[in-house]
Chains A and B, each alone.
Chain A
């Protein structure tokens, strides 16, 4: 369903990082208050809230929303694995677009460090099941080895994407990883192997953090900040797996790469836009080889041409279609629940022209993409108006 008459009026986030001494409540409050402040409203103005997290106790979202006040507003939990933040955003946008409320808040928070140091459970399956013995790095490494076989892709290609995103993170104050030097392809390749051919520096870190986006009717957005360009969500697709021959039923936490192509086609169609209209793309680069696949699957080049697009520097800052200007999951971090809302945070700043040293000149249309275990894929298009 196309989104009508909605604008992002406020964004806020914590810097992502390993916050062993900070609680979920503190992180969520910081991000939410920043977004309310950015929008110039208070909780009294918010008609609905959608809270997203992957690993917390069942009531966490409702309890955390009480930190902002007790206004009686409806609160709904959203959990779609790694795509959680974007789906919370999608629900908030639809709540406004459908007329259910005038202002809606999407808030994501997570402490992945607690998961990582815990029992190793929590991937939605019991211990020792066939799904629990294989960790996510391996799933995406399977794509990488197959692509190397079919297309002659080299580990250097994956390393180049990782280095690009590390270096983008160093320009983003909200990024978990902020290298104190220019990260090189050689350095990425030399870091410890995680799963052939992926190395640690090609993989996202274990992050904590929170992020928030507030959406409202366009007329309210104009009244609140008359001098600010509108950041308008045009479409938000969400798909689960579609059967094709060779479908893998047993084992995977991520579906086939074609999910991204299908979800993108739907989002483009609903927005009345095509890949050539997009100026900036934020995608699920939990592992660097994913980003290479998405160059093709999101329509920015023909199948088989992703390596050429990369080698030409077209996905770097200053290129035709910069990818993951905020560092992506690899540098900015991937705490689960808030990840998609950090993408909306970056797109809002970019489309308003407020991204500082990261600013993509003339950015008018932004794309946010995530895949999630289970599996799901979402593609979201936002436009400056």
Chain B
């Protein structure tokens, strides 16, 4: 049975990686958030978070967004998903 997962969940835990690596390339940012998000459908998903180290609190609502990582040789966008605090930085209560 297929279960379609919605774009929202709650933050189970998080961290903020301070080294400027993003996979195999140097990121143009000072660091990035990483978290685990509990989806209401059941799974816990680990993903990159957008926002700064002061933006995350365990239990806060998160929503999914897509980020373009690069273009492949055919000119197609390679995207990954990441989560951000729902309602923008600081999050919705």
Contacts and interface: CB of A to CB of B under 8 A. Distances in A.
Interface of A: 119-121, 127-128, 130, 132-135, 137-139, 141-146, 149, 192-198, 245-252
A193 to B, nearest CB: 5
A249 B15 contact: no
Interface in B9-51: 12-19, 21-25, 34-36, 38, 42-48
Contact of B78 (A128, A144, A246): A128
5 contacts: A133-B23, A149-B58, A194-B18, A195-B34, A250-B43
A116 B36 CA distance: 26
Contacts of A249: 43
Main secondary structure of the interface of A (DSSP, over half): loop
Interface in B62-86: 69-70, 78, 80-81
Q: Taking each of B13, B21, B35, B78, which has the highest tally of chain A beta carbons within 10 Å of its own beta carbon?
A: B13
Contacts of B91: none
Nearest to A118: B24
Given A130-B80, A145-B14, A248-B36, A194 B19 contact: yes
A133 B80 CA distance: 10
Q: Taking each of A139, A194, A248, which has the highest tally of chain B beta carbons within 10 Å of its own beta carbon?
A: A248
A252 B35 CA distance: 11
B13 A146 contact: yes
Contacts of A196: 14-16, 18, 53
Given A145-B14, A192-B18, A250-B46, A120 B35 contact: no
Contacts of A252: 46
Nearest to B53: A196
A138 B17 contact: yes
A139 B17 CA distance: 10
A141 B16 CA distance: 8
Given A128-B24, A149-B58, A196-B53, A138 B45 contact: no
